[in-house]
Structure formats: C-alpha cells, structure tokens
Chain A
Amino acid sequence: MMEFAGTVQDAFRGWFGPVWGSHAWIFAKSLAGIVAVLVPLLLTVLYYQLVERWVIGWIQVRRGPNRVGWMGVLQPIADAIKLLLKERIVPSSASKGLFFLAPIVAVAPALAVWAVVPFSPGWVIANVDAGLLVVLAMASMGVYGIIIAGWASNSKYAFLGAMRSAAQVVAYEIAMGFALVGALMAGQSLNLTEIVMRQGGDWGFLEWFWLPLAPFLVVYFIAGLAETNRAPFDMAEGESELVAGFHVEYSGMSFAVFFLAEYANMILVSTLTSLLFFGGWLSPLDFAFLREVPLAGLLAAPGIHWLLVKIAFFMFLFLWVRASFPRYRYDQVMRLGWKVFIPVTLVWIAVTGVMMLEPLASTPPFSLWFGK
C-alpha cells in the first residue's frame, strides 16, 4: 500500500515537476479519499430511507415498500428518478438567490465533516489534531441551511419551522458540546483516532467509554436526534402543525438535497457515537485471554467491520425511536435541553474529572479507562 502510494507520488512529480507535482499529489490523494468516503455514504443514504420504510412498516405490522424490484429494492432508485424529473417551483415572492443557496448550505457541512472521521487507524481524509472541534463546528453550521430556507421561502409555515429549528439546535448544541467535552477528557485528545485508540485494552467492550461516560452517551444520542430534527424532536417539520416546516416550499431535487443532508447527519451521529463511546473499530471481544486462542483470535482483532456493525446498530436505533415515540411538545423540548441535559452534563464533567484524578485513576475499576 505505502509502496504503491510512493510510486504514484513519484509519477506525479514526473508529470508536473517537483513543486507542482507534490501539490498535485496531495490534491489527487484528497480527491481519491473524498470519493472513497462520499460514494458509499451517498449509497447508504439512498438505501437508509428504504430500510427506514421497511423497519417502520415492520414495527407497525405492515409491509412497507415491496413493489419496485425484488422486495422493493429498486424503490430508492425510482424515488430518485421521480425527484429528478419533478419541476422545481420557486415561490414568486421568495428571495431567489438565498432560496437556491439554502439546500447547498444545508448539505455542505453535512458532507464536509466526514473529512475528519476516521474509519480505521490511518483511514481518514484529514487527520486533524482538533478533529472533534471540526465536527462540532460543522454540526453548528448545519442550522444555516434551515434558517435560510425558512426565511427565503417567504412563507409563514416555513419561517415558523426555521425559527423552531434554530432555537432547538442552539439549545441542544450546548448539551452536545458538553457531552463531547466528556469524551475528549476521557480520550485525552481532540483527535478522533486517538480517542478510539485510548479505548483499547485487555478487557474488550468493558474498556470502552460507554461505561464511565454513560450519561454523556445518553445525552449525546438524544441531542443528536434533536440536532438532526428527527422524531420525536421533529418540531421543525411537524407535519401536523407546519405542513412540512422549513422545506414546505421546496420541490424536486432541491427538496431531495435537504433530505440527503438530514440522512447524512443521522449517519454521522451514529458514527460519532460508535467512535467516541463504543470503541470505533475495536472488537468488543478483544479480551487478553482470547487473543491467543486460534479461531477466537480473529474475533478479537480490530477492523472496519466492527465500526460498520456499530454504525448500523445506531442507525437502526434512529428508526426504532421514530417508530416508538410521539412528537414532543415544543416547551418540553426546550425544558429537556436547558433544564435537564445541561445540568446533567455539567455534573458528569466534574465526576469524570474526579475519576481521572490520581488515587482513583489507578485503582480498579477506574484504571480500566483512565489508568493508561
């Protein structure tokens, strides 16, 4: 792998000269990384919504899509073609430029954030030192697409949805940020790869941070539901009150782009939950005594497959939650964010700090997580 990269790098130097060759090499390498991440991501988004309809159908004891192709597997393709061919309608009194810009602003941070997400040691487009901060910064950018869409549509339903969403995202971002502070304290780094590597050890899944940081895990996932505007926190869309909320005036592909941003964000929250609290690509069976056993040793080995399994589980959890809970009332959403989550995370940051202090950090069971 490294040899191959070296050969290609030399080839680039040959084509573009010594100075521009290394620039072109970095450019080509990044581009290859982006394609390698975004193509599977977009395919996952495409099929995630089919799986969503299957799963919710199954939970509600009905069939879900099963007509297009075998068992309905071509349904997303049919939907995509339908959306592509639909007319794009722009309201006559809309702010034209911003109306066009809003879906782009919504989807850009949702895709850009994947640059710092590692899939295995070294498998990351940009191994940024402050990776977790980049994730937070990009997550906080997502709200612009919604606000701009609501305002530019010049429609009261869209605007109400946008205002709700802005208040909600600002409220939950604080709790989410504090939950991430807990993860970076325990991981002792802002670099996502390092946070995962610190969860490795001789005790498999017991070493992961879900155990000492359980309150953060719960807060992070629920705040993730709220940040992505998913049920039961989908007040911004609330079809029973606001028709479709901020994207009520959008049709065809510009609607599809909002859709794509939401699903990409859901996958991102699932990925980050797996990375920060569930050991990322580490194996749950990575026990010291198991590593020597011939066949079981394979199960103890880390690998991207573990990460994918964990992501899939949390993606399923999103659907499960949507099918199980009714929509929150708006004042309850605000209460939960400000009066429950923020105090809980603040207290647990102090508790984490105490767990990491010296006499405790080296005594079991705390040495399991903080004694390295």
Chain B
Amino acid sequence: MSLALVAFYVSAAILLLAALRVITARNPVHAVLWLVLAFFSAAALWLLLYAEFLAVVLVLVYVGAVMVLFLFVVMMLDINFDKLREGFWRHVPLAGGVGLLMAIEMTLVLASREAPSPGAPPAGYSNTKELGRILYTDYVFPFELAAVVLLVAIVAAIALTLRRRKETRYQDAATQLSATKAGRLKIVKDQGADGTGGGP
C-alpha cells in the first residue's frame, strides 16, 4: 500500500465521519464546525488527485469565507432545540424518499463509467496555470457569464436587505473630515461676572 493510498483512506474516513456528524450533531454550531472539517478533508482528497488549485480554492472560499458567515449567522440565532425536533417523524418519509432518490441518481452516474485516477503530472506542469489558460481562452464567455450572475446576486442581496431607517442617524464622513478649527472653535474673551473683564 502506497503512502498516497493511506492518505486517501485517512482523509476519506475523516470526511465521512465529519459529514455524518454534520447531520447528527445536536448543536447547530457544532454541525457547522463539522462541516468545516468535511470541507477540509475534501480539499485533502483533491490534493491527492493533483488538483492543487481547486483544493486551495475550496479551503479559501468555503472554509475561509462561506463557513465563517454561516457560523456568524448560526451563532446569532436563538434556536429552540425542542421546537426543531418536533415533527421529526412526520417528515421522515418525505426526507427519506428524497435522500434515496439522490443516492440512486449518484449511483447510476458513478456506475455508468469508470473514471481513471489521474497519473502524476509531468515535471514543470502547473495545475494553476493550465486552469487559468483554459478559463480565459476556451471558456472565457461562460466564465464571464458566471461572474456577471454572481455580481447580480450580490447587488440583489444588498438591494433586498437594505433599508434606511428614519430614526437612525447617519454620519457623513466627508463633512466630518472637512471640519476645521475655524468652523468649530471660537475664542471668547472672559468678561467676568460683572462685565468689566477683570477677575474675581
């Protein structure tokens, strides 16, 4: 057994365990953290397939950005566990059916063809460079289209959630920065209590 195979089985075992814990963990924060571990193990599997760029991007995008926001939201939620578990058995048939359907679909796809594992790339081969070349030449239009769709999604998300509350007071940074001593400060000569200008 080669070292790569050992690494594969260890990562795959951690991945399966973490994925199982995502759906069985009682606390949603723990579930999110297990999901982080699952992504990490998946990245390790991709590294074993010589897809180093995709592996690092998986960690960067999902672990570093998406899951942080997930965690952020889940921690802020006030979750009532009893209420969440209520009606579990009522939904089991539907959820089980959908799950079974997905499993059948994936089995059909995976069993229909045998994907050979990629051999070691030649020396000097850069996965990142190849991916960049293909994305910006052959697939430049689909790539740009995906970017525009994402941009629209960002704009839409902000537009949907943005509301200006009337009672909130906002600060205008430009006005604050343009404040000078002349506009704010006035030197007043002390006239004293009796108006003669002298001290007590």
Question: Are A147 and B72 neighbours in the complex by a CB distance under 8 Å?
Answer: yes
Instruction: Pick the interface stretch among A53-61, A126-134, A297-305, A316-324.
Output: A126-134
Does B63 sit within 8 A of A, measured CB to CB? yes
Question: Are A136 and B60 neighbours in the complex by a CB distance under 8 Å?
Answer: yes
Question: Are A23 and B56 neighbours in the complex by a CB distance under 8 Å?
Answer: no
Instruction: Pick the interface stretch among A28-36, A66-74, A137-145.
Output: A137-145
Question: Are A170 and B65 neighbours in the complex by a CB distance under 8 Å?
Answer: yes
Question: Are A173 and B65 neighbours in the complex by a CB distance under 8 Å?
Answer: yes
Measured CA separation A140–B2 after assembly (Å): 33
Question: Are B68 and A331 neighbours in the complex by a CB distance under 8 Å?
Answer: no
* Residues in A whose Cβ lies below 8 Å from that of B76: 163
* Residues in A whose Cβ lies below 8 Å from that of B142: none
Measured CA separation A169–B71 after assembly (Å): 14
Interface of chain A: mostly helix, strand, loop or mixed: helix
Question: Are B65 and A130 neighbours in the complex by a CB distance under 8 Å?
Answer: no
Instruction: Find B57's partner among A128, A133, A144, A167 (CB 8 Å cutoff).
Output: A133
Chain A-chain B contacts (Cβ-Cβ < 8 Å), number = 69
Does B24 sit within 8 A of A, measured CB to CB? no
Question: Are B57 and A23 neighbours in the complex by a CB distance under 8 Å?
Answer: no
Does A151 sit within 8 A of B, measured CB to CB? yes
* Known A-B contacts A23-B3, A129-B127, A130-B52; A143 and B68 likewise in contact (beta carbons under 8 Å): yes
Measured CA separation A87–B56 after assembly (Å): 39
A21–chain B nearest beta-carbon distance, Å: 12
Instruction: Find B63's partner among A141, A159, A163, A170 (CB 8 Å cutoff).
Output: A141
* Known A-B contacts A130-B53, A151-B29; A140 and B36 likewise in contact (beta carbons under 8 Å): no
Measured CA separation A138–B189 after assembly (Å): 61
* Residues in A whose Cβ lies below 8 Å from that of B30: 98
Measured CA separation A169–B65 after assembly (Å): 10
Instruction: Find A133's partner among B29, B33, B60 (CB 8 Å cutoff).
Output: B60
Measured CA separation A30–B12 after assembly (Å): 24
B147–chain A nearest beta-carbon distance, Å: 14
Among A315-368, those with CB < 8 Å from B are 331-332, 335
* Known A-B contacts A144-B68, A147-B68, A335-B173; A134 and B56 likewise in contact (beta carbons under 8 Å): yes
Question: Are B56 and A166 neighbours in the complex by a CB distance under 8 Å?
Answer: no
* Residues in B whose Cβ lies below 8 Å from that of A128: 52
Among B17-59, those with CB < 8 Å from A are 29-30, 33, 36, 52-53, 56-57, 59
Question: Are A140 and B69 neighbours in the complex by a CB distance under 8 Å?
Answer: no
* Residues in A whose Cβ lies below 8 Å from that of B69: 170
* Residues in B whose Cβ lies below 8 Å from that of A143: 68
Q: Which of B3, B30, B56, B126 counts the most chain A CB atoms within 10 A?
A: B56
Question: Are B71 and A147 neighbours in the complex by a CB distance under 8 Å?
Answer: yes
* Residues in B whose Cβ lies below 8 Å from that of A23: 3
* Residues in A whose Cβ lies below 8 Å from that of B178: none
Measured CA separation A167–B69 after assembly (Å): 9
Task: Encode contact with B along A142-159: 1 for CB under 8 Å, 0 otherwise.
Answer: 011001100100000001
Instruction: Tell me how many residues of B have a C-beta within 8 Å of chain A.
Output: 27
Interface of chain B: mostly helix, strand, loop or mixed: helix
B85–chain A nearest beta-carbon distance, Å: 20
* Residues in A whose Cβ lies below 8 Å from that of B72: 147, 163, 166-167
Instruction: Find B65's partner among A140, A147, A148 (CB 8 Å cutoff).
Output: A140
A343–chain B nearest beta-carbon distance, Å: 14
Measured CA separation A139–B65 after assembly (Å): 11
* Residues in A whose Cβ lies below 8 Å from that of B75: 147, 151, 159, 163
Does A190 sit within 8 A of B, measured CB to CB? yes
Beta-carbon nearest neighbor of B36 in chain A: A144
* Known A-B contacts A129-B126, A147-B75, A151-B75; A170 and B56 likewise in contact (beta carbons under 8 Å): no
* Residues in A whose Cβ lies below 8 Å from that of B63: 137, 140-141
B170–chain A nearest beta-carbon distance, Å: 9
* Residues in A whose Cβ lies below 8 Å from that of B2: 19
B92–chain A nearest beta-carbon distance, Å: 29
Among B63-99, those with CB < 8 Å from A are 63-65, 68-69, 71-72, 75-76
Measured CA separation A136–B59 after assembly (Å): 10
Further pairs besides A136-B64, A148-B33, A173-B64: 17, Cβ < 8 Å: A98-B33, A129-B53, A129-B126, A129-B127, A134-B56, A137-B59, A140-B68, A141-B63, A144-B36, A144-B68, A166-B71, A166-B72, A167-B72, A170-B69, A173-B65, A332-B173, A335-B173
Chain B residues with a Cβ under 8 A of chain A: 2-3, 29-30, 33, 36, 52-53, 56-57, 59-60, 63-65, 68-69, 71-72, 75-76, 126-129, 171, 173
What are 10 A-B pairs with beta-carbon distances under 8 A? A98-B29, A128-B52, A133-B60, A133-B128, A137-B60, A137-B63, A140-B65, A143-B68, A163-B75, A170-B65
Chain A residues with a Cβ under 8 A of chain B: 19, 23, 95, 98, 128-130, 133-134, 136-137, 139-141, 143-144, 147-148, 151, 159, 163, 166-167, 169-170, 173, 190, 331-332, 335
